[in-house]
Chains A and B, each alone.
Chain A
Amino acid sequence: MSEDRKRILGMLAEGKITADEAEMLLDSLGAPAGEATRETTPSPSADWPTGPSAAGTPKFLYVKVTGGKDTVDVKVPLSVLRAGLKLTSLIPPQAMERINESLGEHGMSLEFDNLKPEDIEDLIASLREMEINVRSAEGEDVRIFCA
């Protein structure tokens, strides 16, 4: 049993957290909840995928931070990315130039005006294969993927 699971179950035993909260914490660790919490209502993040989807167009971007003091789960619809990228093609050229200049000043030589609307779906579909795993010196794990 991992230290995190022990700590969560300890907090449940001490009455510091409810069974619901314990289950949510255990789910966020990516492990199934124990017998003591199995009968409670699952947290929304319990149904989230644990890794990139194998097929189909991804629908959400997931960011999971575990292993440290805080556990964070973020789910953002990829429709935000789709709508945002489509919006860049509608930005007036003068404004776009200033955006590109500003991005360049900050070390990001990314020109959004080169991105065609027809490329957006391909870009989003290819995000299915993206997975970023970062482990900090403090032992925090950060996972970013689309599913």
Chain B
Amino acid sequence: MNAYLPPLVVDVCVRETGSRNFRIWLPFFLLWPVLLIVVGFALLVTALVDLALFISGARYHHYTLLVLGSLRVLASVRGTHVDAVNDDSIVRVDIY
């Protein structure tokens, strides 16, 4: 189930010489209820489509798995870290 858990928070930290540093936590978990509704609806529709395709004898009937697979790709970006540093600035992005 953990493999389908979308990112919780994106942490963006920017430090620049001569200006104010800022750090922002983007609470992606606030979008989870919306995502839950969208994915739930998509799964329902794709399940019906897959069932219809299966009954009609179509070779391909994996749209439900495709939606779940896409959700898994989204979930797997957790743990990504980007650090970019130059003489004047530091930018750090973490996806949790």
Give B59's nearest chain A residue, CB to CB.
A93
Contact of B77 among A74, A80, A90, A91 (CB under 8 A): A80
Contact assessment for A90 and B66 in the assembled complex, using a CB-CB cutoff below 8 Å: yes
Which residues in B have their C-beta under 8 angstroms from that of A80?
A: 73, 76-77, 80
| B-contacting 9-mer, from A21-29, A31-39, A104-112, A119-127 | A21-29
Rounded to whole Å, the gap between the CB of A26 and the closest CB of chain B is 11
Contact assessment for B84 and A70 in the assembled complex, using a CB-CB cutoff below 8 Å: yes
Interface string of B41-61 (1 = CB under 8 A from A): 000000000000000000110
Given A92-B60, A93-B60: A43 and B83 interface contact (C-beta under 8 Å): yes
Rounded to whole Å, the gap between the CB of B75 and the closest CB of chain A is 8
Judged by DSSP, the binding face of B is: mixed
Q: Flag whether B26 is at the interface (Cβ < 8 A).
A: no
Given A90-B65, A91-B66: A16 and B81 interface contact (C-beta under 8 Å): no
Given A24-B90, A80-B76: A74 and B69 interface contact (C-beta under 8 Å): no
Task: Give the CA-CA distance A60 to B60 in the complex, in Å.
Answer: 33
Size of B's binding interface in residues, CB under 8 A: 29
Contact assessment for A77 and B77 in the assembled complex, using a CB-CB cutoff below 8 Å: yes
Which residues in A have their C-beta under 8 angstroms from that of B90?
A: 21, 24
Contact of B73 among A70, A84, A92, A93 (CB under 8 A): A84
Contact assessment for B76 and A82 in the assembled complex, using a CB-CB cutoff below 8 Å: yes
Contact of A79 among B60, B76, B82, B94 (CB under 8 A): B76
Interface string of B64-93 (1 = CB under 8 A from A): 011001101101111111111111001010
Contact of A17 among B17, B60, B73 (CB under 8 A): B17
Given A45-B81, A60-B79, A91-B66: A71 and B86 interface contact (C-beta under 8 Å): yes
Give B86's nearest chain A residue, CB to CB.
A70
Which of B62, B69, B77, B83 gathers most chain A CB within 10 Å? B83
